[in-house]
Amino acid sequence: MSNNWHPENESQPPQPDWARWEAEHGPPPLESVKRPAPVDIETARHLWWGVALLGMINLVVTLFVVYGDKSVFAQQLVDDVKAQDASIPLSVESAEGYLTAALVVMVLIGVGFGALFLFWVNKMRIGRMWARMLLTMIGTVTVVLTVPQLFGFGSNDGAQAIVLGVAGILQGVLAAGAIYLMHRKESNEYFLASRKS
């Protein structure tokens, strides 16, 4: 028996000709090509960031005001509970504990909604129609809630009330601008093109 076996005699499976395949079919679609967003969409994104930032400022000021007058709010809660049902034993200390827990929950909800809001803004930026619709609804509610603040501005005393009023009005203005920019002609074309791709 002859021992003539060599690895180069072994038949190799044919290798695919990727250069020819690319010439005939184009490059393989491994990832979608990112298109740059129009200037209006980029500007709307920055305006939405401003809305989110002002919302966080509003939350922090509200928490500061409520926590600063915690004993007053706790006493009011005790009085309200006694007025409805005097048999419920509720002390001021317990009411302050409940109020502190409510503030912690408020912070968690505020931070969670802020993160979700920024996620929606990012999805709008890459051309998701549903994100634009959602932001339009949120922005419309923000603008509508701003109108009473606009006409009642300066009626409340105190620095905190002024900060909250200014932040609320600015939120409404930024939201209105972002909604307008998201629905301009070039923006509409961008969202329609993103829908097809």
Reported as half-sphere exposure (CB side, CA atoms, 13 A), residue 48 has a value of 32
- CA–CA dist 91, 81 (Å, integer): 10
Domain spans, the chain: 38-196
- Comparing CA positions, the residue from 188, 167, 175, 170 lying closest to residue 135 is 175
- The rounded average pLDDT for each run of 10 residues, N- to C-terminus, in the chain (197 residues) is 54 64 58 71 96 92 83 79 75 80 91 94 94 95 86 64 83 95 93 80
Segments in 9-154 forming alpha helices (H): 18-25, 39-68, 70-84, 92-125, 129-151
Token readout for 59 is 């939350």
Nearest to 178 by CA among 136, 150, 128: 136
What's the token pair of residue 36?
């740059």
Helix or strand (DSSP H, E) at 33: none
Q: Tokens 């009411």 map to which residue?
A: 95
Phi first, then psi: what are they for 155, rounded to 5°? -75, -25
Phi and psi, residue 68, nearest 5°: -65, -35
Whole-structure pTM value: 0.71
Residue 95 neighbours by CB distance under 10 Å: 21
**Looking at this protein, which amino acid is placed at residue 96?**
E
CA distance 103 to 98: 9
The residue assigned the tokens 């090509």 is 33
The CA distance from 100 to 74, in Å, is 10
Q: How is residue 126 annotated by DSSP?
A: T
Q: What is the pLDDT of residue 32?
A: 45
